[in-house]
A and B are shown apart, each in its own frame.
Chain A
Amino acid sequence: MLDKASLKKIRRIMGKEAMLNTPADVALYGYDATPALDGVAPEAVVFPQRAEQVQSLVQLANQENFAVVPRGAGTGLTGGARPIHGGVVLSTQAMNQILRLDTDNFQVVVQPGVVTGDLQTRVAREGLFYPTDPQSLAVCTIGGNLAENAGGPRAVKYGVTRQQVLALQVVLPQGQLVRMGARTLKTVSGYDLVSLLVGSEGTLGVITEATLRLLPAPACRSTLLMVFDRVDQAAAAVAKTFRAGVWPSAIEFMDRHCIRCIEEHEPAGLPIDAAAVLIVEVDGSRPEVTSAAERVQQVMSEMGARSVQVAQSEAEAEQLWRARRSLSPAVAKIAPLKINEDIVVPLSTLPGVIDAIHALAARQKIKCVCFGHVGDGNLHVNFLADPSSQEEVARAEHAARELFALTVSVGGSITGEHGVGTTKLAYLGMEHAPEALAAMAAIKLALDPRGIMNPGKVLPDELLAKERGSGPAH
C-alpha cells in the first residue's frame, strides 16, 4: 500500500495535475482490452512528461517498494497493463511528441505515447512509411507496440516492431536512464539490449524515447481476394505464393465462420458458401505490383481457388480491408466470451494445423473461428463460449490448452504478437525448457532485483521466487 507520504512524494515528482488517485479516476486503469478479466485498480496513475520524471519515480519505487506498471493505450490482449500487484500505473499519454523527423537518414525520434496511426500519417506526408500496423493502430501507442513487439498484417514483408527500432532511451528498473542501440542502420557493439527491451512487456524498464527506421513509401498497392472451397487448399497456397517469387505485403486468412460472422453483422459481399478466403496485398512500383498481382492470381488458380478477384479501385480495396477489420467486433457480437489465442506455426504446417484446430474444437463441442496473418504463419484462434456456463468455459479452456500442445508439437510458438501478460503464464512451460525459463528469470532478477517493474507478467512469480532463492545472494 502506498502511504500518504509516498503519494506526496510522487505528486512532487509529477506535478499536481499529472497524478490521479481518487477511486473514480483510477478505476479504468485496472483494465486492458483482454475480455473477461476483472479490473484491479492501481493506487495512483501518473502522467510524466519527461524521462527524468520517470527516472525519479522508478528510483522512489525502489526505495518505497511499490510496483510501477507502464501503460500505453491499454489495447493489449493478455492482461499486461493491469496492475495486479497494486502500485502506480505510469501512463505515457503525456509523452506524445514526435521529437525529430530526419528525412535524410530515414529516421524518426518519438516519445512513447505517440499514436501509431498518427506517426504513419505524419511520415506519409514526407513520402515515408512506418510499416507496422497492429489492428488497433488508430489508438495504440508506439511505446505499447515496442513493449509488446507488436505485429500486424504487414509484418509478413516488413517484420514486426523490433525490425523498425534502431535505438532506445530507457529507464531501467533500478532507475538508471540509459541509451541502447545506435542511430545507424546496423550495430554489433555489445549485447543487443534493444532486442531485450522490445517485447519485454514493461518488465525490464520503461521506454522513454525511440528512434525508428523509416522506409520509402511504396508507390502502389494492389489487393486481391481469393475464394476457396477447401481450407487446406487456401493454407497450402500461402507457401506456394512465396515459392512463385512473390513477397506480398500481407496475406490474411479467414475461415467459413469468419465469413458468415462478417456477412451477418457488417455485410461486405463475401461468399458465405466458401470454406475460406485469402486477402493478399502486394506493394511496390506500378510494374512490380502489376506483375506480382498476375503471378498471385496464377498461383491461386493453380492451387484450386474458386475465384480470384482484384480490387479495381482504392475504394474496393478499402472495402476488403474494412471487412477484415470488422471481423473482431463481429465475433464479439456473437460471443459474450471469446478466448482469443494467437499462435504462430511454420508455414509448411499450416494446412495440417488448421485442420487439427477445427477437429479439436469439434471434439470439445466449442465454436471456433480461425483467421489471421497467415503469411507469417500467425493464426488467431477464437474459442467462443457462453460465460454463464462454467462447463462450457472449462471446455473452451481445455481446447486452448490442446491448441498450445498442437502448436508446440509442430515447432510453433504460443503467441505471435499478443505477448504473455498474465493470461499465458500457465502455458509458458509448454514451449520453453526449464533451463530457458531459468535464464529468463536470471535476466529479470539481475535488472530488477526488487521486482518493481510490472510484477506478475511474462514470468510466473513462483519461478522468480525459486530462482531468487537458488541464485547467488544479492
Chain B
Amino acid sequence: MPRGRRYRFFLSACLQCGSCTAACPNQVDTALVIQAGRARLAAARESSWIGRFITKKILPSERRLRRLLGLARASRALWAKKIPTQSGLHLRLRRGLDGQGRRIPEIANTFFLHQKQPSPEPGAQRRVSLFVGCVANYLKPQVAQAAATVLTQAHCAVDIPLGQGCCGLPAYGLGENEAAIELAVRNLDALMPLGQAPPDVITSPCASCAYMLKKRMPGLLSAWPELHQRAQQLAERVQPFSRLFTQLRADSAVSKKNSSENTPLLTFHDPCHLAKGLGERNAPRQLLGQLAGARYVEMDQADRCCGQGGSFCLSHQDLSEKIVSNKLSLAQKSGAEVLVTECSGCLLQLSSALWSEDSALEVISTAEAALRYQSAKKGSM
C-alpha cells in the first residue's frame, strides 16, 4: 500500500490501547499490526524526525539522556515561569507547554539508579529484580523507591541491576525496531546476566515496561534463537507490580483491617498495557482494597484509555487532551481524592492534565499507594 498522508495519519492516530483487540471476536492483535506499519514508515524514514531523534539517539544512550535532563533541570527555572503566549518559544515548546500552560514534568535531583539502595534484609524469601523504567528513574524516583521499599518489607531480596535502560517501548511503538532491539539486548544482559542464577521474579512499577518485557521483547528478538530463548525465560519471570505485591500479601496472610471512614478514598485507572495488554484487572483493585489506611471506590469506565498513547499525545495533542479531560471528570465523579494508576505514561498524562485543570485530585502509582496507605496510622495524612 502506498505510504500516503492518510496512511501516516491512521498509523499515528492509534493509541495502542488494545481495546479493539479485547473486543474482537477473532482477537486480532491490532497493536502489532499498527507497529508493523510504523516500522515500515520508520524504515522509509517517514516517521516524525523528533520521535526518531528521541528514540534512536537519546533514549538508548544513558549518557546523552542524562546530559539532556541535566540541562533541562538547570534551565527549568527559566521555563517554569509562564512564557508569554506571544513568545515564539511557545511554538517550539508546544509539546511541553501548550496554550493552557501545560506543565513540564519536574526532573529528579538524583536519578533513582544513582541513589544508594539498602542491602536486602536477611532471610529474604524471593529474589526480585526491579526494572525501574525511564519515568521512575529520571522524573519520579519516589515511585521506584516505594516499590523497592514495600517489596523489601515483604521479605524480598530486591536487586536493581544497574545496567538496565529504557524498556524500548517508545522506540518500538514508533516502529524504530533497531533501537528497540538494542535496548532489549541491553536489558536482557542486565536482568538475566549470563553465568548467574536468574532472579525469581522481575517486576516494574510501570505496567508498560512490564508489558514490553513480557509481551513484546521475545518477538523482537525472534531472529536470534539464543537471545529469543533468553528473552522468553525473562518474559516468564515478569509480573506486574500489583500482581506480585498481592501475591506476597496472600502468602504472608495479612488480613485487611477495616479502614475507618476518615481515611482517604482511592480510585484506580486501568493502564491499557496492564488491563488489556497483560490481562491484569484484579490485582490492583485487590491491592488497593486491602490497604488499611485507605478506602477504595471504583470509578466509571476505569479501563478507558487516558489518551497518552506514547507518541500519540505529541502527534495528536488536541485529541489526547479531550480524552484525558473526560477521564479526569469521571475520576472526580467517583468522589475519590487520590487517583491511583500503574503506568508511567498514565502518571505523566494524568498529573500534567490535573495541573492544567487546577484540580484537588492527586495522582500516584500503586507502589506509592502501597507504601503510603499500608497501615492505618500512616494513612491518615
Contact = CB atoms under 8 A, between A and B. Distances in A.
A22 B1 CA distance: 10
A27 interface: yes
Interface residues on B, range: 10 to 19
Contacts of A22: 4, 6-7
Contact of A332 (B1, B6, B10, B25): B25
Across chains A and B, which 6 residue pairs bring their CB atoms closest together, nearest first? A24-B7, A24-B6, A332-B27, A22-B6, A328-B25, A23-B1
Contact of B27 (A23, A24, A25, A329): A329
A33 B26 contact: yes
Contacts of B24: 329
A140 B25 CA distance: 12
B225 interface: no
A135 B7 CA distance: 32
Interface residues of A, number: 16
A277 B6 CA distance: 49
Main secondary structure of the interface of B (DSSP, over half): loop
B7 A23 contact: yes
B2 A23 contact: yes
Interface in B1-27: 1-2, 4, 6-7, 9-10, 23-27
Nearest to B37: A24
A24 B10 CA distance: 8
B25 A136 contact: yes
A27 B27 contact: no
Given A23-B2, A24-B1, A27-B1, A332 B7 contact: no
Contacts of B9: 24
Contacts of A329: 24-25, 27
Interface string A268-304: 0000000000000000000000000000000000000
A351 interface: no
A145 B359 CA distance: 46
A159 interface: no
A188 B7 CA distance: 53
A118 to B, nearest CB: 15
Contacts of B26: 33, 35, 332
Contact of A333 (B1, B2, B6, B27): B27
Interface in A230-261: none
Contacts of A35: 26
A333 B26 CA distance: 8
Contacts of B6: 22, 24-25
6 contacts: A22-B7, A24-B10, A25-B6, A329-B24, A329-B27, A332-B26
Interface in B70-114: none
Nearest to A135: B25
Contacts of B1: 23-24, 27
B4 A24 contact: yes
A24 B3 CA distance: 8
A24 B9 CA distance: 9
Contacts of A75: 25
Contacts of B23: 138-139
Nearest to B7: A24
A23 B9 CA distance: 13
